[in-house]
Amino acid sequence: MKELKHEDELDFLVKNNSDKMQGYVLNRPLHLVEFASLVETLANCPQMISDWLNR
């Protein structure tokens, strides 16, 4: 798993079909309740995920 610190690293991994990554480019560290809320939101908004990955 790659820790992302820069937007160009994210772009490279997405273009090369990597599906495991972490780091501040994606989001700041979250408390468990915040993380659960984010997961719930993203699960209900697949278009948001698609738009973000295809930017």
45: left (phi over 0), alpha (psi -120 to 50) or beta: beta
pTM of the model: 0.46
Alpha-carbon span 41 to 36, nearest angstrom: 9
With a cut of 70, say whether residue 2 has pLDDT above it.
Answer: no
Kindly give, in sequence order, each residue whose CB lies less than 8 Å from that of residue 9, ignoring residues fewer than 6 positions away.
Answer: 2, 23, 25
The one-letter amino acid at 9? E
Domain residue spans of the chain? 2-53
Question: What's residue 55's pLDDT?
Answer: 67
How do residues 6-53 score in pLDDT, each as one tens digit? 888 878 888 888 877 777 666 778 899 998 998 888 888 878 777 777
Tokens of 24: 């501040």
Backbone angles phi, psi at 7, to 5 degrees: -60, -35
